[in-house]
Amino acid sequence: MTDTVTSPVATPTQVAPKQRGANGSARIARRLALGLLSALIGLAVWIALWRAGLNGFPSPLAVLGRAGEMAKTGVLFTDAWASLKRVLIGFALGSLLAIPCGFVLGWYPTIRTIFDPYLQFFRMVPPLAIIPLTIVLMGIGETPKIFIIFLAAFLSAVVATLQGVLSVDRTLINAARVLGARDFTVFVRVVVPASTPFILVGMRIGLGASWATVVAAELIAAQAGLGYRMQQAQQFYDLPTIFVDLVAIGLIGLVMDRLILLAEKRLTRWQERRAG
């Protein structure tokens, strides 16, 4: 009689966590490597444009040196905070108002029929074109600057929310009603979760529009801000200062965008995603 030797076989539950951890680490390493490669490509293009002598295009070292000077005097941080504060207030107010408005427009066809033409009309008018009107009506303080940013964020988010409500699968709504759910329950448990990806995409677009608008908004008698500093530097053809402010706007906006993207991933875990 021979003894049977059994070798331990790893069960799927034993392998899966290790495999998922390895795959996750590999994806993170790959993204970091691609991010570094992207930064190097951008730096190479910048150096190539500088060496080509494109209308006094500043070198990376010149811009870095100017950034150090502005940081040392505190001007860079003062301007960054002034612009960030305006964007945060305008973007937050615009998004908070846009989401309920988008839900109402999407859920009630009669209200949508009445107000959608106005929404589309104002969406076609660039927020920057309203600057002269805001100066006349609101003066030259902080209110008109924040209002212009608010308008840019609101129009992007309300359209995205409206589209999100209209894109909800009717089968899901009908199935919930067949199971006895009332309109309020259907709205909260079906429409809101299904619309969340659209809302967050609209907020990301609105955030970009807010930063694009803040530069022009700070033309309204501002005393500090990245856009204000760029306008001052333009008068003296101070390209390094302009580049410092451009990079600052891009970096701050990128961080804010990634925060919204992180919130999107957490709020829409139920959604199937393509592995990347």
At 259-273, the pLDDT tens digits run 988 888 887 776 655
Confidence class for position 15, pLDDT limits 50, 70, 90: very low
Asked if the model's pLDDT at residue 14 lies above 60, the reply is: no
Of residues 69 and 272, more confidently modeled: 69
Of residues 109 and 264, more confidently modeled: 109
Determine the pLDDT at residue 274. 53
Which two three-digit tokens encode residue 211?
């930063």
Confidence class for position 2, pLDDT limits 50, 70, 90: very low
Ramachandran angles phi, psi of 180, nearest 5°: 100, 10
How large is the greatest C-alpha to C-alpha distance in the chain, in angstroms?
102
Residues in the chain: 276
Nearest-5° Cα angle at 89, 115 to 262: 90
Determine the pLDDT at residue 17. 55
Distance set, CA 271 to CA 1, 81, 106, 173 (Å): 57, 36, 21, 17
The mean pLDDT value for 129-142 works out to 85
Q: What's the pTM value of the predicted model, to 2 decimals?
A: 0.80
**Alpha carbons 45 and 80: distance in angstroms, whole number:** 26
Mean pLDDT of the chain: 84
Residues ≥6 apart with Cβ < 8 Å to 76: 67, 70, 244, 248
The mean pLDDT value for 94-111 works out to 92
Determine the pLDDT at residue 231. 87
Asked if the model's pLDDT at residue 240 lies above 50, the reply is: yes
Q: Residue type for 57, please? A: F
The mean pLDDT value for 59-66 works out to 89
Confidence class for position 245, pLDDT limits 50, 70, 90: very high
At 154-197, the pLDDT tens digits run 999 999 999 998 888 888 888 888 888 888 888 888 888 888 88
Asked if the model's pLDDT at residue 99 lies above 50, the reply is: yes
The mean pLDDT value for 6-28 works out to 57
Determine the pLDDT at residue 19. 62
DSSP assignment of the chain:
-PPPP------HHHHHHHHHHHHHHHHHHHHHHHHHHHHHHHHHHHHHHHHTT-TTPPPHHHHHHHHHHHHHHTHHHHHHHHHHHHHHHHHHHHHHHHHHHHHHHHH-HHHHHHHHHHHHHHHHS-GGGGHHHHHHHHTTSHHHHHHHHHHHHHHHHHHHHHHHHHTS-HHHHHHHHHTT--HHHHIIIIIHHHHHHHHHHHHHHHHHHHHHHHHHHTTTT-SSSHHHHHHHHHHTT-HHHHHHHHHHHHHHHHHHHHHHHHHHHHHTTTS-----
Determine the pLDDT at residue 76. 92
